[in-house]
Amino acid sequence: MNKKKWLFWERKKILKWAGSLFLAAIFILIATFGLYKEKLPWEKQEYPIVVLGDSVIGNKFDGEGIPDYLSKELGVPVLNGGFGGTRASFHAQETYPYSVGSYLSLVKLAEAIACRDFSVQKAQIAYGEHYLNILPETLDYFSNTIKELDKVDYSRVIYMIIEHGTNDYNTGQQLDNPEDPYDVKTYGGALRYSIEALQEACPDMRLILMSPTWCCIWIDGQSMDSEDVDFGGGYLEEYVDLEGKIAEEYGLYFLDNYHNSEVGELTQEQYYFDGLHLNGEGQKKIAEEIAAFIRQIENNGSVAD
């Protein structure tokens, strides 16, 4: 074989060998990326994050609510499970519309999630829609939210964020019952009862307790500052402190928006529109703080003090 032919065949072999190596490298990269993707929890869930709470979480479905901004921050779907006017604690109310709020309390939603049965909530809302013309726009979003909550596979939810306390505070609900730590009529009892129901039903789900922010409530034209007014159960800060203690008691993550958020009394003109509810900028700021909190958990496995 002459030298030219020999060089030709040698180059051809080298190119073939290099091509095979290149394809092998591509397959390895694809396989590696596929395995890495398989370990990422976010993209495998319909709703990897569910937020339960009151009107600070609910009442905003225009893309400018806390769950909406949180979804944009983390790049994953976040379910807004908030219902305006609701509390953590449960009080059996037979009069409509108060009965709706009672059965949308954290206690009753935790039971519904644990039992995978939202029929009581659906029945309460349907009764109001069919027989009474009270706040139809509210009932409409209540109904849609319950339908979404009912669709969720909670065994696949990664984080559940619980934001309750403001309405327990401003309706004067008892902080705790020393004789019964699971008294669901109290704020502390409601939290403990709900936490244990959720943990038993969804042991892999991470619970984050998120405190209320500072607020002032307007009653008959008078401003009631949460640092100065006790509605019968204590000051709002006492509810926040109890929530933190219960989070520690159960080894849960606690996001203290009352003491640590940029949203508060000193920034009320920037972040609130009525002293209690947040404007779009306030919602965005809280969402950013939640996202930073979750990133800390994901990166470190815990949250630094």
Domain edges within the chain: 47-67+74-213+230-256
Q: Which of 296, 278, 294 is nearest to 75 (CA)?
A: 294
Q: Give Cβ neighbours of residue 46 (< 8 Å, ≥ 6 apart).
A: 77, 151, 152, 153, 156
Task: Calculate the dihedral angle through the C-alpha atoms of 37, 41, 42, 44, rounding to the nearest 10 degrees.
Answer: 80
Each of the 305 residues of the chain gets a pLDDT tens digit; together they read 554 444 444 555 554 554 555 544 544 444 444 433 333 455 556 889 999 999 999 877 677 899 999 999 999 999 999 999 899 999 886 555 567 788 999 999 999 999 999 999 998 888 766 655 555 666 678 888 999 999 999 999 999 999 999 999 999 999 999 999 999 999 999 999 999 999 999 999 999 999 999 999 877 778 888 999 999 999 999 999 999 999 999 999 999 999 999 999 999 999 999 999 999 999 999 999 999 999 999 988 655 44
pTM of the model: 0.82
Query: According to CATH, what is the number of the domain 47-67+74-213+230-256?
Result: 3.40.50
Burial class (CB within 10 angstroms; exposed 0-12, middle 13-18, buried 19+) of 17: exposed
Secondary structure letter of residue 214 according to DSSP: P
